[in-house]
Chain A
């Protein structure tokens, strides 16, 4: 078995890992050895083809369809250089103060987090997309919301030189999206950090890791790992786990930390979501242009949902449209006329919803839809249908409706139809991409896994810096908040470098 030694090892290269890597990278000038271990591959620029299945397999864990234990929801998260920042749409929102207050983590305030988040907004070119780059799919959402007097808002996005390929969720083929794969990781590497791809951490022990380096499969995309394939033992004085809300709790659980940290794996939330589609009488620009430019969150507290514009690819769309047969095909044939809205439920931490591991140490996500989530999805579907019709759609698809198609002549009956809606888990296509919790921040091991700097309770050399830190749902897109929290973790490590390293 190969043996290696570093001062700091960062596990994962997404919003958390990429940020920590960059923020610690100046230490390399002082001789500190830092490695980022990333489970997924690093694709060359020309390998981002925009082809749906190819890119899903290459860039996402389980092709973007990681199943929950109940098999009623799929989870999408990146497994590549840059993690999920390589496959998100670049939406970058500041953490909401109301949520931070509700989290009630000692020492964690908006006053502290906001300047950190704004630093990354500047670094990653976060701005509002100019009006001429907004496609009709987004404009119709704005029109519909305004006619209904809803407070629609524009997403700040981290794009530079966006050409409007519409392929954000398959990895931008033009390198326009400024995720950690384009900004923080390259900077960290320039400063001397090593990034090792195809490198999965099997377990953590006392200041050491056991890892498995995969060979590049024949015909697979991406560069081979910088390390020889096979098992490897790595010593590290500091370990920062940034594998995301599925893999980080699972890694700590299979490393045997569950007994001393009873909250480990608890509090998993994910904004369960489904896609609403509607047909317009004429073709609209939908798959060209940035897909997610606007959102509506005024009902987050009162009705427990958020709406976002979205546009997906043929297979993902087909999966999202309920049913099958002629009616399903009719919807798909209307693709150039389709408007889409993503309905996200604002879920709350629930005792049942958690991360565990199976007999092989692999992550298992237990998730059941609480009555609040089901109500949120239903209310979001009804509001979406109203927005569609206010924008001029001729029919709308409601995945939990009976029937699932609402014609425009029935637009006035949307609420009544929604009341009859039936949410049957396993029938309604639900997925989630905002995975949070499992290593919650808090004051002690009785209520949490880490302190507000991501330091694992009782283990001064072990940190967490990703969305698993969230004690409860953030209710908005999480990336900027993850980066701000990762910035705090990096600061704590720098400040204690003299004792830790």
Chain B
């Protein structure tokens, strides 16, 4: 039911109600809210089981059921996905009010919800992979919603291709697991787990390959390049995809196969380090961006790095906790940013904003709540979850802890920078001076999310949803260090960015995103050219020249040869006749 509602909505909108935009919007919102209500039911009652259909069943060899898994993890994700999704749908009603492609947008949004819920509910690798790809596709549609803009079309393509690379590794990982365990259903794999552990090298490779899928989808280094460009999509899309759901799918996958990963130390370490590098990278680049959404995009990359780091440190609880709180405050931040953008008539450069705290009061307040949660300021939710991860790192891997702490410092820095430049100080442009607050349909989701961003961290609240991690021996040093980092970051930001008209710091390396895009373009150009040349050579010389022209040429040649016997000349015939006689005599007499 949960799944079918958004799917039905997508189908109805695409097939029937394309012309009646408001109706489409309404259908979509109703569907997703319906899903949310169903999710709440499922969450409350622990005795619901779902139907199971057999889809592919090659007896004994390959069995892929369409079945759902309803354990604590998936229930929690259902709630997050449908809950935040509902809020974003409602917000979209306001944000996309005047957009000509509204029906298409809502249809795609519904399809995306369907796919994401499918990932959460899938009980076997193959089903999850199918929905995984579907999410990738719908995100392509959503990011490229304003496809008339070249940059948007390019960004959508880039997102799809980059996640596809990760998916390729993911698929190979699934095949490896299936080859050994004989089944793709998660529970069966757990049961047959001993078969894999006997071969640690194999296990490590399979684990890392499955991690590739997460690297792509959750925008880890080195496949993170698509996420900032994906800001070309409408802001609610950014909120949905990049804050709450799609990127969380990667972390969800990792937690699902945690039993696989935790059996291999190498895999764990790899994952932890990639998460850490990603976190640092995202934070560094974010300090130099001037588009309000890009700052948030790199912040997402950074926070996802934290989550992946937590998985690599063998604590699913910490990762899920951070995912839980992050969904709220990041979605909040994105939606609030969207509110700012709409209020300033689609202006996204922060250096053209300023002084909005007095004009967009509620937006400012909610943005501030989200910002404080992101920084990890107590008592907001982000503090608890980030603290949990840092404590984990402190205990298990000191270098990672140091980098994590540095990233926290940077996070505080760039978030404070953003708040300072966007909201405080004097207005820097006309649109900033004449801004007014957004309509209630956009404000109310903001307020709801702000509430959750504040409360979700408290143990009393979070305990109902998931297992809150406890690191008992950490003591007070980790939170203390975290708060110090936070204050230091905010303080430095104040120093630099108070009452500025232009960007005072210039770090080319960060601003140009560590030249990743240029590097990839160069790489692709060279490898692809080489491959294209090889393929062209094979095609021209071997296939065309050898096989096709070769056979025809041979036939022609043989024909020409035989043709020589057909001269009309009698004397030539006589000559051949004589030759034949000689041969005959030879054979008769000497054989």
Q: Is B a genuine binding partner of A?
A: no
